[in-house]
Amino acid sequence: MDIFNSEWLIRMLEKSSNTPQGRILNLFDILGDWLAAPNLHVILSAHISSHDLLTNYLSKQATAMHAASPEILAEHIALIAHNAALQTASEPNGNHLKHAKVAANALILAQTQKQWASPKSIHSKRTIYGIAASFFVVGLTIAWLPTFLQTSSQQNIVVALDVMRKDNSTEIKTAAFASNSKNLSLSAHEAATMYAKYEQMRNGTCQFPEAIQIPDRDKAVYLENVVGGKLPSNLKDLATANIYLEKVRCNFTPMLMANSVG
């Protein structure tokens, strides 16, 4: 089976998320699982063409999320995925697909940031709020990733976007919340800052506040959405979880170095 021309891959992507961003980024997780599956004779095509099933599918997703050049984005992401899959096949422990996903996400930002940074190209305030909310939630999601990834590598970093898209009213409310948090016009630079936070937490040993210190009214949210790494399903929980996320303290001293202090 040529994975990049398989209807199976398209079906897997289609059901993996409710948002185009989610479906694009899940490509890397699905490929990773597929390559790691036991007793599978992996065949990867030598080329990616602009006419294969995957590139066409990605192009539709890129169009749906108003990328500046959907076809270019689709081709580029298909090529990144193809190269990373080839490298993974020959070097299984190289984390190529994980880094490819990060690169693809940056590419999505590069192709979409201009549209919400320049309101003239958007037809309604509702759309602006929706996109701003999406980026805000992506940022929060990235900040959550360290614990989030522990629970399931299959979960998509844009699950929050799914929640937003399912409920338009929530989308508008979240935009208002983002505005209050001075995050309405989240730029690529700010998204990069979120990346930085995620990377930092991933590289450290993090200590969470003890649950006994948390007021009863927030305890469930704290345990489920901060410690458990599960994304909140509504705006109120999102705000609460963010407060406690800020209180997580991480130590970045390498273990060996910390233990060797005489």
- Which chain residues interact with another protein by CB under 8 A? 46-50, 68-69, 72-73, 75-77, 79-80, 83-84, 90, 94-96, 99-100, 102-103, 106-107, 109-111, 113, 188-189, 191-193, 195-197, 199-200, 203
Least separation in angstroms between residue 79's CB and another protein is 4
Which of residues 118 and 124 has its CB atom nearest to another protein in the complex?
A: 118
Least separation in angstroms between residue 78's CB and another protein is 8
- Spatial distance between the Cα atoms of 203 and 221, rounded to a whole number of angstroms: 25
Which of residues 148 and 195 has its CB atom nearest to another protein in the complex?
A: 195
Least separation in angstroms between residue 188's CB and another protein is 5
CB–CB of 3/30 below 8 Å?
no
Least separation in angstroms between residue 87's CB and another protein is 8
- Spatial distance between the Cα atoms of 112 and 103, rounded to a whole number of angstroms: 14
- Spatial distance between the Cα atoms of 35 and 41, rounded to a whole number of angstroms: 9
Which of residues 157 and 163 has its CB atom nearest to another protein in the complex?
A: 157
207, exposed or middle or buried, with CB in 10 Å at 0-12, 13-18, 19+? Answer: exposed
Which of residues 110 and 149 has its CB atom nearest to another protein in the complex?
A: 110
Q: Which amino acid is at 27?
A: L
Which of residues 28 and 34 has its CB atom nearest to another protein in the complex?
A: 28
CB–CB of 116/133 below 8 Å?
no
**96 three-class SS:** helix
Q: Give the CA distances from residue 114 to residues 57, 89, 135, 259, 262, in Å, rounded to whole numbers and listed in that order.
A: 23, 36, 13, 47, 53
Which of residues 1 and 220 has its CB atom nearest to another protein in the complex?
A: 1
**232 three-class SS:** coil
Least separation in angstroms between residue 202's CB and another protein is 9
Least separation in angstroms between residue 126's CB and another protein is 27
